[in-house]
Chains A and B, each alone.
Chain A
Amino acid sequence: MKEQNKKEKNKMKRNLFLITFLAYFIYIIYSYVFNISSGIEIGTNLISFLFSMSRILPCAFILIGLFEVWVPREKVEKHFGYQGGLQGYIWAIILAGTMAGGLLVALPVSSALYHKGARLSVIFTFLGASAVVRIPMTLFEASFLGAEFTAIRWIVSVPLIIISSLFLESYLSKEQFSVK
């Protein structure tokens, strides 16, 4: 009975998703045909975002695939796992800083790291850092807002990210949580 309810719910969710999706595209096509500015603008946004992502995502996923077949589990455990200690967080921050694509790429990367034995708090640090310390973005920020601005942002946010990741890890350790 419960199982069936869940199935029904999932089916409803999927239908709702499909309807929204269709409505969205019909509106955009309709806008292009009848020249409605709001729909055209949304459509243009969609296309430009899709293009910029289609340049990054395939590469990112292939690199993740290569990582999964070539990097041995022990290596990840040693540097990103419980054995890594403080080193794990430093690696997580360096990796996040040099990576392209932001959270959208960081999420599948963190999933791959997690399944190779990385520690949860290192994963959360990596996710947090990928938003904060990306080097190209940071240089850009510093050139417009000044190096002091960027320096304070780093000095304040990085320790807070590590601390909150540790809290989140210990909070989740009481239950069976896993990254997909």
Chain B
Amino acid sequence: MWLFYLTGILLLLSFFFDRSKSKKAIILAYRRFLIIIPSFLIMLILVSIILFLFPQEKIITYLSYGSNMVNIILAALVGSITAVPGFIAFPLAGILKDNGISYTIIAAFTTTLMMVGTITFPVEVTYLGKRVALIRNIISFIIALIVALLIGLYFGEVAL
């Protein structure tokens, strides 16, 4: 809600100082919004289907197989594909932790969830192009794996 007020106040200030500039800002905003509409629609469809295919219970089973390297990568893949919003993901991570699932697996899941955007990919392609969007997400995936392994190392779950 604060975003709404902030935008309103800034827009009012802007109109107060310079009407024509503000009109230009609105037109620019509208044009930029039009650019992403097709990819945004694809994203909406992807989100609605992925949320249906990967409900919470399914995610929990995928993450409860143990924590060898294969399962860490599996957890990272689940995190990459699924589209759980943060306010659901972290309570879910809390539940996983209470059920004795290792920090390594949880980190692999939550970090890829945040960093790798399968569902935002169509929108990313609109701005960066297919190749760069792909490279960026692969790099993010690798960084997330490194984070998971170092968290595992810190909590004594992963031995060198």
For A104, give its contact among B123, B128, B146 (CB under 8 Å): B123
Let me know if A64 and B32 touch, CB within 8 A: yes
Q: Does A68 contact B (CB under 8 A)?
A: yes
Let me know if A108 and B49 touch, CB within 8 A: no
Let me know if B126 and A38 touch, CB within 8 A: no
* Cα distance A180–B36 in the bound complex, in angstroms: 11
Q: Does A8 contact B (CB under 8 A)?
A: no
Give per-residue flags for A61-76: 1 if the beta carbon is below 8 A from chain B beta carbons, else 0. 1111110111000000
Q: Does A36 contact B (CB under 8 A)?
A: no
Give per-residue flags for A49-61: 1 if the beta carbon is below 8 A from chain B beta carbons, else 0. 1101101111111
Let me know if A66 and B11 touch, CB within 8 A: yes
Q: Which residues of A contact B159 (CB under 8 A)?
A: none
Let me know if B52 and A42 touch, CB within 8 A: yes
The residue in B3, B87, B106, B111 that gathers the most chain A C-beta atoms within 10 A of its C-beta is: B3
CB distance from B101 to the nearest CB of A (A): 11
Q: Does B69 contact A (CB under 8 A)?
A: no
Let me know if B93 and A144 touch, CB within 8 A: yes
Q: Which of B52-108 contact A (CB under 8 A)?
A: 52, 85-87, 90-91, 93-94, 97, 103, 106-107
For residue A103, which residue of chain B has the nearest CB? B120
Give per-residue flags for B1-45: 1 if the beta carbon is below 8 A from chain A beta carbons, else 0. 001101100110010000001101111111011011010111111
* Cα distance A68–B24 in the bound complex, in angstroms: 9
Q: Does A168 contact B (CB under 8 A)?
A: yes
Q: Which residues of A contact B135 (CB under 8 A)?
A: 168
* Cα distance A170–B82 in the bound complex, in angstroms: 32
A/B pair count, beta carbons within 8 Å: 179
Q: Which residues of B contact A108 (CB under 8 A)?
A: 32, 36, 127
The residue in B43, B107, B140 that gathers the most chain A C-beta atoms within 10 A of its C-beta is: B140
Check A179/B127 contact, CB under 8 A, given A124-B136, A149-B107, A152-B151: yes
Q: Does A132 contact B (CB under 8 A)?
A: yes
Assuming A69-B14, A127-B136, what are 20 further A-B pairs, CB within 8 angstroms? Answer: A17-B42, A45-B51, A46-B45, A52-B85, A53-B44, A58-B33, A62-B26, A62-B29, A65-B30, A108-B32, A128-B140, A128-B143, A131-B140, A137-B90, A145-B90, A148-B154, A157-B115, A160-B146, A179-B127, A180-B126
Q: Which 7 A-B pairs have the closest CB atoms?
A: A65-B29, A65-B25, A144-B94, A45-B48, A46-B48, A59-B7, A61-B29
Task: Return 23 A-B CB contacts under 8 Å, by A number.
Answer: A17-B38, A62-B11, A63-B6, A64-B29, A65-B24, A65-B30, A70-B21, A100-B3, A107-B123, A108-B127, A111-B127, A127-B136, A128-B140, A131-B114, A140-B87, A141-B90, A145-B94, A152-B147, A157-B143, A160-B143, A168-B132, A177-B129, A179-B128
